[in-house]
Structure 1
Amino acid sequence: MTKLADQERRSAPTPSGEVGLLIAREVDPGHEADFERWARGILTAAAAFPGHLGYGLFRPNGPGEPWFLVHRFRDAEAHARWDDSEERAAWFDRADGHHREVDRRRLSGIEGWFVPPGRSVQAAPPRWKMTLTAVLGIFPISLFAGTVLQPLLGDLPLLVRTALIAVLFSSLMSYAVMPGLTKALGRWLYR
């Protein structure tokens, strides 16, 4: 069994059942535009499948670094339908041979917060370390929301107030707090 297949098998879906894929591909110099067309085509094709929740394409940070493709599926069955489809196989038949997969992660739960910025995809830290790090991030945001935001938003309907706090909480955790904590605690997390 290949290393990639073994990693894929060890992943487990989130309690909600969602499956996220983060795929790293190396592209030969001079073939970036061709790869980008191919990647956008295969991502768009996957988006048409039932249960596909969204996708992204991320350019490399610098020359020679991998491109990243991201897929989200409602559940493992939706992912399997795409993965086993003739349409996906046809897209790979059309690939020009100037790009290759170098890593694949099936993100299940909070592991997505632990992909270090600017680094290649790697195995997630142990779950207890991820949980402890998430608590360190959640605590100050919860304290801020409870002491500062709740009084300011107190006149809004409960659903609106809760939605605003959820958007703020998710955005801060995903874009500010967890990238910072992952970087600061990187040696401990990935030891």
Structure 2
Amino acid sequence: MTKQMNQSDRMESDDTPVTIDIILNVKPSCREEFERVAAETIAAAEMFEGHLGVNVFRPDDSSSLQYRIVFKFDRLSNYRLWESSEIRKGYLAQLNRLIVDEGKFQVLTGLETWFTLSTNKAILPPPRYKMFLLTWGIIFILINFMNRLVIPNLSFLPPPLATLLVSGLMVFAMTYIIMPRVTKLFAKWLYPRNHDAQQ
């Protein structure tokens, strides 16, 4: 697991939101201890600035103790602070004793964080051209909405301040409202293999 964690050194340098996807195979005799240490690790991560939440997917089949943990940070720089912290290193050493192998570790940044589904499978981003087309279409609609209903009501503000406000509203809407729903709506087109496998 430590070796795979080091792969995050190759991540993008942009200070964008990040989604961290971890899959671990727990030793059968260590399940209770793993649950305890994992809960303590998650609680520690929540204390760090920029932590946006975590989802824990527990194994459905008792014969395979595979856990998946997905958590998000608002910025790559804030995630780096957690990643390099001594408290995380301490918990990581404890977790490494409780798992069968190194596990799988993914860090998604930028637009890829908009295209993540709630599933117990590893996060596989869709092709970039699909992300581009879908994002382009949504932004086109948003810009027209802003031009008609929002910008005319901001004429009393200086142009730079109005632009700052409008761009902030667009990014907020894309990140927290629109893209999570649009991703589910277009899931069959974005992730055809995943859906075929589930049927």
With normalisation by structure 2, the TM-score equals: 0.66
The total of aligned residue pairs comes to 178
Q: Which runs of 5+ in 1 are unaligned?
A: 48-52
Counterpart Cα distance in 2 of 1:42 and 1:60: 14
Give the SS at the match of 2:71.
Answer: strand
1:142-161 Cα offsets, whole Å, 9 max, x none, are 11111110111111233432
1:33, CA displacement in angstroms? 5.7
- Equivalent residue number for residue 77 of structure 2: 74
Q: How does 1:100-179 map to 2 (within 5 A)?
A: 103-118=104-119, 120-179=121-180
1:29–1:82 Cα change, 3 Å? closer
Give the SS at the match of 2:178.
Answer: helix
As a proportion of its length, which structure holds more helix?
Answer: 2
Give the SS at the match of 1:125.
Answer: coil
| Percent sequence identity over aligned pairs | 23
Contact 2:17 2:76 survives alignment (8 Å): yes
- Equivalent residue number for residue 23 of structure 1: 21
Say what the alpha-carbon RMSD is for the aligned residues. 4.0
1:31–1:143 Cα change, 3 Å? same
Counterpart Cα distance in 2 of 1:183 and 1:41: 31
Give the SS at the match of 2:22.
Answer: strand
Counterpart Cα distance in 1 of 2:101 and 2:164: 41
Counterpart Cα distance in 2 of 1:31 and 1:178: 34
With normalisation by structure 1, the TM-score equals: 0.68
Counterpart Cα distance in 1 of 2:91 and 2:34: 17
- Equivalent residue number for residue 38 of structure 1: 41
Q: Which runs of 5+ in 2 are unaligned?
A: 61-66, 193-199
